[in-house]
């Protein structure tokens, strides 16, 4: 069995198997443990100069190899290009896209740095699996160094339609670099279509119906690999989490009231202000919910050093203040707003207790919170998921109440419908979504990607 080499901006901590490790980290770790392998990434540290070699830590048959970044590299690569250019672009927020040549050059520089520090660790038959928008050019950089291994890429965020993608200066080079991968995986068929139509419109290459692509000399494969969760583990977490001290305290503090839950990184792609406005509209238009329903939004601070994120934070704080000021009573605050991370078990317990899961991103590659909310429900009395049509998860979770997150009144209606839905309908919807989550898990996602990557090797050798 070939070794697996995973590259992602951040790696899991070698010793962290604990309560905070997310489903993706656990699944990649399991995949690495099966074949033995390397997990390569940024250490999270800033150093005065580039390190000659990565720091190596071993845990069982997995090697964790990490490098620090210099301050200019970190700022150009991570802050400016990855998070200031690509993140808003891929989430259709052209007004927020910043671009500078120096940031792009820094992005390429760090990709070459990663390639040069990774290459000496590679064995000839290793399968390399690169994750996310930080590393569009990594395969090209590895090829420059003579690396001939199979290299796959998975984009966790959306690939925008060509009309949007072409607003990026030097988009052609970015996508040509992407074509240096042997397998390019996206979250949904929409993303695959965006890739195919970009290649065609810009005359870069073409995608065939069987999922193979050609771009100049390069040949590869492209496909949709919708990411899942560790469904059974999350079911069990919710079953035990519901009697955890934190969940019991939450239940007690709510009294007889029901609650709506939102859990997101504090990011402008998640549509939190629109959601707040929808809750305000609900309380305005349906007075029966006043005093009877609380909306709890958990939103740990993310990328807090970036100006747009600070502005978003102020905006949300304004909404919370207005809604609580307008509708609050001495014994009821309509909105509870928390900038904290919670242990996964508590989160699972909170989800199980919540009558409605409100997951309304303006754009999202997949959105695992939607899947976790469903998996956490009590089969005898499941809550209702209200889900944005612009989350990748809406392709699979069709029995959710699907909403347009830009339509505040529609969202308010959906929350009302969720709060008043009869048990039989809630169960029917939940059963179908649960069957889907049991079939497509994070483990099956991992396996299908790696099998396809290994399979494309056989294809090439046979050719
Ligand atoms: P994210 O944008 O981070 O991921 P998401 O898919 O929802 O979004 O994953 C967030 C994860 O963090 C979930 O597992 C959630 O439970 C956890 N989390 C959030 N808030 C938390 C809190 N307060 N405490 C503890 N845990 C918390 C990117 C893409 C998504 C894509 C994923 C995976 O933007 O579209 O689904 O990668 O591919």
d(CA 369, CA 393): 9
Looking at ligand 1, which residue's alpha carbon is closest to its atom 16? 369
* Ligand 1 contact, 36 CB (< 6 A): no
CATH number of the domain that 357 lies in?
3.40.50.2000
User: Residues 134, 156, 289, 440: which is the catalytic one?
Assistant: 156
134 among known catalytic residues: no
| Domain assignment present for 88 | yes
Task: Kindly give the distance from the C-alpha atom of residue 265 to the centroid of ligand 1, in angstroms, as a whole number.
Answer: 7
| Cα dihedral value 341, 343, 349, 353, nearest 10 | -10
Task: Kindly give the distance from the C-alpha atom of residue 264 to the centroid of ligand 1, in angstroms, as a whole number.
Answer: 7
pLDDT tier, 22 (very low <50, low <70, confident <90, very high otherwise): confident
Task: Kindly give the distance from the C-alpha atom of residue 425 to the centroid of ligand 1, in angstroms, as a whole number.
Answer: 28
Atom index in ligand 1 nearest the CA of residue 24 equals 33
d(CA 134, CA 106): 11
| Domain assignment present for 162 | yes
Does the structure show a pLDDT above 90 at 460?
no
* Ligand 1 contact, 367 CB (< 6 A): yes
Give me the residue label for tokens 């040549």: 101
Q: What domain count does the chain have?
A: 2
Domain co-membership, 296 together with 329 = yes
The three-class DSSP label of residue 34 is helix
d(CA 68, CA 56): 12
* Ligand 1 contact, 126 CB (< 6 A): no
Mutate to test the pocket of ligand 1, among 6, 133, 263, 345 (most ligand atoms within 8 A of CB): 263
- Provide the domain limits for residue 248: 231-439
The three-class DSSP label of residue 408 is helix
Task: Kindly give the distance from the C-alpha atom of residue 372 to the centroid of ligand 1, in angstroms, as a whole number.
Answer: 10
| Domain assignment present for 77 | yes
Domain co-membership, 99 together with 141 = yes
Domain co-membership, 8 together with 48 = yes
| Phi-psi sector, 49: left (phi>0), alpha (psi -120 to 50), beta | beta
| Domain assignment present for 463 | no
Domain co-membership, 224 together with 235 = no
Domain co-membership, 369 together with 224 = no
Give the list of residues 6+ apart from residue 387 with CB closer than 8 angstroms, or none.
359, 360, 367, 370, 393, 394, 397, 400, 401, 402, 403
What pLDDT digit, counting tens, does each position of 52-108 carry?
999 999 999 999 999 999 999 999 999 999 999 999 999 999 999 999 999 999 999
Domain co-membership, 161 together with 256 = no
Domain co-membership, 194 together with 273 = no
- Residue 458 has what pLDDT? 47
Looking at ligand 1, which residue's alpha carbon is closest to its atom 3? 265
* Ligand 1 contact, 14 CB (< 6 A): no
Domain co-membership, 169 together with 247 = no
The three-class DSSP label of residue 28 is helix
* Ligand 1 contact, 157 CB (< 6 A): yes
Give me the residue label for tokens 């072409």: 166
Once rounded to an integer, what is the mean pLDDT over residues 427-445? 97
Q: Which helix (H) or strand (E) holds 221?
A: strand 218-224
Domain co-membership, 244 together with 202 = no
Domain co-membership, 268 together with 387 = yes
| Domain assignment present for 320 | yes
Domain co-membership, 430 together with 309 = yes
d(CA 385, CA 328): 25
**C-beta separation of 238 from 351 below 8 A:** yes
**Mean pLDDT rounded to a whole number for the chain:** 95
* Ligand 1 contact, 22 CB (< 6 A): yes
Atom index in ligand 1 nearest the CA of residue 302 equals 3
219: which strand partners?
214
Task: Kindly give the distance from the C-alpha atom of residue 400 to the centroid of ligand 1, in angstroms, as a whole number.
Answer: 19
| Phi-psi sector, 227: left (phi>0), alpha (psi -120 to 50), beta | beta
* Ligand 1 contact, 298 CB (< 6 A): yes
Q: DSSP string spanning 299-366?
A: ----STTSHHHHHHHHHHHHHHHHHHHHH-BTTB-SEEEE-----HHHHHHHHHH-SEEEE--SSBS-
pLDDT tier, 20 (very low <50, low <70, confident <90, very high otherwise): low
pLDDT tier, 298 (very low <50, low <70, confident <90, very high otherwise): very high
pLDDT tier, 18 (very low <50, low <70, confident <90, very high otherwise): low
The percentage of the chain sitting over the pLDDT mark of 70, rounded to a whole number, equals 97
Task: Kindly give the distance from the C-alpha atom of residue 242 to the centroid of ligand 1, in angstroms, as a whole number.
Answer: 21
**b/e sequence 360-393, b meaning 16+ C-beta within 10 Å:** bbbbbbbbbbbbbbbbbbeeeebbbbbbbebbbb
Domain co-membership, 86 together with 60 = yes
pTM, full prediction: 0.96
Mutate to test the pocket of ligand 1, among 363, 367, 393, 396 (most ligand atoms within 8 A of CB): 367
117 alpha carbon, distance to own chain's centre: 27
Give the list of residues 6+ apart from residue 256 with CB closer than 8 angstroms, or none.
none
| Domain assignment present for 74 | yes
- Residue 55 has what pLDDT? 97
Once rounded to an integer, what is the mean pLDDT over residues 299-314? 91
Rg (CA), the chain: 23
156 among known catalytic residues: yes
């Amino acid at each position: 069995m070939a070794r697996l080499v995973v590259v992602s901006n951040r790696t899991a901590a070698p010793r962290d198997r604990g309560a905070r490790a997310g489903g993706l980290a656990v699944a990649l770790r399991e995949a690495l443990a099966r074949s033995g392998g390397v997990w390569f990434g940024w250490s999270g540290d800033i150093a005065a100069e580039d390190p000659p070699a990565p720091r190596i830590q071993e845990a069982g048959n997995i090697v964790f190899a990490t490098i620090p970044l210099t301050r200019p590299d970190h700022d150009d690569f991570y802050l400016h290009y990855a998070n200031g250019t690509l993140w808003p672009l891929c989430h259709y927020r052209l007004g927020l896209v910043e671009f500078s040549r120096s940031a792009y050059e820094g992005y390429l520089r760090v990709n070459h740095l990663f390639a040069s520090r990774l290459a000496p660790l590679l064995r000839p038959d290793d399968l390399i699996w690169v994750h996310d928008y930080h590393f569009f050019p990594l395969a090209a950089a590895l090829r420059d160094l003579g690396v001939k291994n199979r290299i796959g890429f998975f984009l966790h965020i959306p690939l925008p339609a060509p009309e949007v993608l072409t607003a990026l200066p030097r988009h052609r080079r970015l996508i040509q670099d992407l074509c240096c991968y042997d397998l390019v995986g996206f979250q949904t068929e929409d993303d695959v279509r965006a890739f195919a139509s970009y290649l065609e419109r810009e005359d870069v290459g073409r995608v065939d119906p069987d999922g193979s692509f050609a771009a100049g000399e390069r040949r590869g494969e492209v496909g949709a690999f919708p990411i899942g969760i560790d469904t059974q583990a999350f079911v069990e977490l919710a079953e035990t989490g519901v009697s955890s001290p934190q969940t019991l305290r939450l239940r007690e503090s709510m009294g007889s009231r029901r609650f709506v839950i939102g859990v997101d990184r504090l990011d402008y792609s998640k549509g939190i202000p629109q959601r707040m406005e929808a809750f305000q509209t609900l309380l305005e238009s349906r007075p029966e919910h006043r005093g009877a329903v609380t909306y709890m939004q958990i939103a740990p601070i993310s990328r807090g050093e970036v100006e747009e994120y600070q502005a978003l934070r102020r905006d949300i704080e304004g909404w919370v203040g207005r809604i609580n000021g307008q509708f609050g009573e001495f014994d009821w605050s309509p909105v509870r707003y928390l900038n904290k991370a919670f242990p996964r078990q508590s989160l699972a317990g909170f989800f199980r207790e919540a009558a409605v899961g409100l997951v309304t991103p303006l754009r999202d590659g997949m959105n695992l919170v939607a899947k976790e909310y469903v998996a956490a429900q009590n089969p005898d009395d499941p809550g209702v998921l209200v889900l944005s049509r612009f989350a990748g998860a809406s392709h699979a979770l069709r029995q959710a109440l699907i909403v347009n997150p830009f339509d505040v009144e529609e969202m308010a209606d959906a929350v009302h419908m969720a709060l008043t839905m009869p048990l039989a309908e809630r169960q029917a919807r939940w059963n179908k979504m649960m069957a889907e989550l049991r079939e497509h898990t994070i483990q099956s996602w991992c396996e299908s990607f790696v099998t396809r990557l290994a399979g494309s090797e056989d294809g090439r050798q046979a050719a």
